[in-house]
Structure 1
Amino acid sequence: MMTLRTFPVLHDLSDSLFADRFNRIDRLFSQLTGNTPLPAMPAYNIRRLADNRYELTLSVPGWKESELEIETVGGQLNISGKREEEEKEETENSEERWIHRGISRSDFRASYNLPEHVKVTGASLENGLLAIELLQDIPEEEKPQRISINANSVLEHKP
């Protein structure tokens, strides 16, 4: 399962309204068919920590560090989860059987387009939450500059 999503540094209202409509349609069909809706990707939060620091947090309950991979390639942040083979075999061959398994353990891949000048500075996994630290480092020459207007100068035209 692969999801490509533009990474919003600032909340995009239209995107969330559009996504919400699809979520409602998915829930409606799920009620009619009795199937559980499948999330397109792990649930996530984006939090501003400071003027130029952000944190992207993904919900990945039950995943181990060794099963998760984070990489950046050409301005794109890719996060994937792949279950270890021994765990797959253990689940299939064991006499242990799940009565209910509501925590998704399907392999996943989520991709985000990072805005220009945003870099990943670190990541941590704690209590089923994968936190990815982001830094927006805009060079001084590209930052907005205020230009003062000198009201006292008058241009004169000389013939």
Structure 2
Amino acid sequence: MRLYSFFQLLITLAFLLSCGSKNSVASDSTPISAVTKTENSIVYLFFEIEKSEKGSEKVKLTGTKISEGFIKNASIENKASVSGNLLISFLNKSGEVLEERIIEDPLNPILEVYAEEGLSKNKLNLNKAEFSVRFNQKGEISNVRVEKITDKSKNTLITLKL
């Protein structure tokens, strides 16, 4: 039974990784400069994070997408501000923080496995992963900053000028 659960975990992980590598958004991505020109829209930013051999992390923007509409604030769920998670800050032209989002550590996701014994949660350790963030663009957000939360501080990984 233990071997059966291990194979389920491997199949699920392979499926998740294959889905993540087929990012169709990058092919029809919007230029980053168009994000600030569009008002009253939803902006999706797609990122890739990679851990180097030395342990440092590098984030790069892989795609953007803009759609009409708006997100209700109640539909955006924030995670806990714990070490390892990412803090996404949306800034105006003067550098003032307008909104913040927290994303669970994309390099160490928790995979839930359903087996005959019940539900088990396994923490994965990846060297490369993708994540995305969405926000309402009302014309006031001009920068997006991604920071890694540590025990003592926050380390800026990337700052995008929209």
TM-score by length of 1: 0.30
Q: By percentage of residues, which structure has more strand?
A: 2
TM-score by length of 2: 0.29
Q: By percentage of residues, which structure has more helix?
A: 1
Greater gyration radius: 1
